[in-house]
Amino acid sequence: MLTRILTLAGCILAVANLAAQQPKTTTNPTSTCQAKRLDNTVNAPTADFAPVRYGDRVYFSSLRQETPEASPVSRIFSFTPGNKPTLDVEFNPKNNASHVACPSLMPDASRMFFTLCRDEAMQKCEIWYRDREYDGKWGVAAKLPESINVRGANTAQPAIGWDAAAKKYTLFFASNRSGGKGKMDIWASTITFDGKFEAPVCLSFNTPEDEVTPSFSQTGQTLFFSSNGLKGVGRFDVFSAKKTADGNWAKPENLGRPFNTAYDDLFYTYHEPTQTGYLASDRPSSQCSGSAEGFGCFDIYEVKKQVPATASGTKGSTVNSKPTE
């Protein structure tokens, strides 16, 4: 088992006892998708994770250090494909002891949610947000209400999506708050038209173990998340659960390979316009050094569907990385 499950309240994984892990069987052993590790212009020698794309820009979190002697602190970076990542100064705190990670944007980019941990041990984590102002800049950071950020609990990994059944935006997040089914659970809070957050609900598919890193596909009304409590091919696997017309959740399905491996696969998000998926994994092809003590060695991967070669030998192309919903 993992000796320390989640830091940044589920944003960064610390992995232990790797040799003791026994791979599980997959529910989807065949796939035409291919997972490709992004090159070293994106992935640093330390952990990179929580990728999410909006428009032509990919936002992600990283423990990369500005100077060799600096302590590893999580910050939000972004890049456009083919270009080097830059630190997003507007999103990151000036307090060097605070960790910020896991950005999630409203569909119109009017608000960004993120995780903020004020302590070095990253055990006091909350969900905050910034609203975009009229001049296009991001406003002052504000904390979500206590109905979301319960005192004494770790609350992290916000994901926003339009719930067609409820006809409202819904905030999904991971938390170890009381009233759940396991360690870290995925919760959902619908947002009223006047911007208030309704009482969070613990989702039905949570297990006694950990369900983390939610992301929501509006088109397919499907929630993607990772779990080490559901049957999978490795430790943390990526699953999907479809929201039905009556407002219930269908049984989660394991995405199989290449989304999942015998290692930890988390933070899967899908960008509909480019039909591209992104995830973070510590699979063997990851090349970070794990130099930040206690943190998993995660790199960011891009997932696309590979079209088989034609009979004439034409090389296949990547066209779609969306799992069956």
pTM: 0.85
Tell me the pLDDT tens digit for each residue of 48-93: 999 999 999 999 999 887 666 667 789 999 999 889 999 988 888 7
pLDDT at 177 over 80: yes
Cα gap 100→98, rounded to integer Å: 7
**Cβ-contact 67, 54 below 8 angstroms:** no
Cα gap 211→156, rounded to integer Å: 12
User: Whole-number mean pLDDT of the chain?
Assistant: 82
Confidence band for 307, pLDDT divided at 50, 70 and 90: low
Please state the domain extents for the chain.
4-305
Cα gap 20→211, rounded to integer Å: 21
Total count of residues recorded for the chain: 325
Which pLDDT score is estimated for 76?
Answer: 94
Which pLDDT score is estimated for 30?
Answer: 47
Tell me the mean pLDDT in the region 227-250.
Answer: 93
Which pLDDT score is estimated for 105?
Answer: 95
**Cβ-contact 319, 308 below 8 angstroms:** no
Question: The domain 4-305: what is its CATH number?
Answer: 2.120.10.30
Would you say the C-alpha torsion 112, 189, 226, 34 has a positive or negative sign?
A: negative
Cα gap 204→206, rounded to integer Å: 6
Tell me the pLDDT tens digit for each residue of 61-71: 998 876 666 67
